[in-house]
Amino acid sequence: MSADVSEKHYTIIVQGHLDQGWADWFPGMEILLLPEGLTRFTGTVVDQAALHGMLSRISDLRLPLLLVIRGNFQLD
């Protein structure tokens, strides 16, 4: 079964600011600092195991997970 590209694209938002120094921990993801102390990760995740690993790293950093969305998502 093949998935289209939008199914592998994720937006993840966490509470807290995470600077670009952590980018190596989240390959393929763009890290953007948002107002109110939020960080948004956007990018392509190769498979569910990679997503699980990314969420585990977020947990290891003790950043509260606020949102995970699969597919293209735009914040206004």
CATH number for the domain spanning 50: value is 3.30.70
**Closest C-alpha among 36, 52, 47 to residue 13:** 36
At 3-56, the pLDDT tens digits run: 555 568 999 999 999 888 888 889 889 999 998 999 999 999 999 999 999 999
The residue segments making up the domain with residue 64 are 5-70
Give a yes or no: residue 75 inside a domain. Answer: no
pLDDT given for residue 50 in this prediction: 92
Give a yes or no: residue 46 inside a domain. Answer: yes
Give a yes or no: residue 49 inside a domain. Answer: yes
Amino acid in position 8: K
Mean pLDDT of 63-75: 85
Number of domains in the chain: 1
The structure's pTM equals 0.83
**Tokens found for residue 44:** 């392509």
pLDDT given for residue 33 in this prediction: 94
